[in-house]
Amino acid sequence: MGRTAGKMIIGIRRCITRDMGLPAAVAFMALLALDAGALEKPGKKKADPDYWVEPMKKVHAAFKGEKKTFAHFGDSITDTRAFWTGLQWQRNNMSPEALKAYNLVRAHMAQKCWGDWKGPRFGNQSRQTATWAQQNVDGWLGDLKPECVLIMFGTNDLATSTPETYARQMTEIVQKCLNSGAVVILSTIPPRHERDEIVQKYVGAVRKLAADSKVPLIDFYQEVITRRPKDWDGALPQFAQYNGYDVPTLISRDGVHPSNPGKYNGDYSDEGLRSNGYTLRNYLVLMKYAEVIEKVLSK
């Protein structure tokens, strides 16, 4: 609450306590507390977590493709079978909420979308960028006719594009998906070793696009930073004894890709979710896709 509003309430409290007596003053102050938000600075509204639900219902109402399909458009972080495919076999230490989400996804999603939709024909390939997606998205949508699309590009764009070009291309990709009747889920990219300033610009572009297009967002970047604020980066000297993906933090030794240490493979406990980058990504996508199924696709 602002300083001016606080002074006003203190003054009112003194007056009503003196003039109204204690019982009436207590009742009046309770009512005042309920309306204290009216004295806050204007324009500060709490974000609606379901901002995307009604808009996506309208998009889905026009869908004429193959129901229960879930396409993933992205680069190597999506193309690998460490993402999504193994979730159907390994789900150790899942919370009741996550297990409920998995059962919902399992009952809804076409079996082929667990692992068959991998590779360039299906919109995911190593080293690719938003430019590649912009050039090929019409073909993917025409061939696959997906009901829902997860989109995550940007890691490779850092070296080949600008945040402005990236934002423009991603906007076009998202709009084409929506025009086809596909519900879109956007994801931010993970943090990268010694590139945080530029990464944040690409992350910001995706957050803005999700808000402007009214599509659901998975903030993978923020989840990594929140769970391991000081040591998410597997390229740090303290992880020098580990190799490749087998490092017990969220980003691999290359400082780019999510980690995948065997010790935490398929471990959805709190420790697993802060120690295996691909397990964390699987969890985040699972929870958001289940929410989309429940609130949009099953309606």
- Confidence (pLDDT) at 16: 39
Pairwise CA distance, residues 190 & 77, whole Å: 10
- Confidence (pLDDT) at 43: 56
Pairwise CA distance, residues 279 & 72, whole Å: 16
DSSP letter assigned to residue 261: -
Pairwise CA distance, residues 140 & 156, whole Å: 20
Which string of DSSP letters, residue by residue, matches 33-56?
A: HHTGGGGSPTT-----TTTTHHHH
pTM for the model? 0.85
Q: Mean per-residue pLDDT for 167-177?
A: 98
Residues in the chain: 299
| Locus of tokens 């009503």 | 16
Residue type present at position 255: G
pLDDT band at 47 (very low <50, low <70, confident <90, very high): confident
Q: Which domains does the chain have, with CATH numbers?
A: 3-39 (no CATH), 53-297 (3.40.50.1110)
Pairwise CA distance, residues 102 & 84, whole Å: 11
Neighbouring C-beta atoms of residue 93, cutoff 10 Å: 14
| Dihedral of the alpha carbons of 30, 33, 35, 39, in degrees to the nearest 10 | 150
Q: What is the pLDDT of residues 74-105, one digit of tens each?
A: 999 999 999 999 999 999 999 999 999 999 99
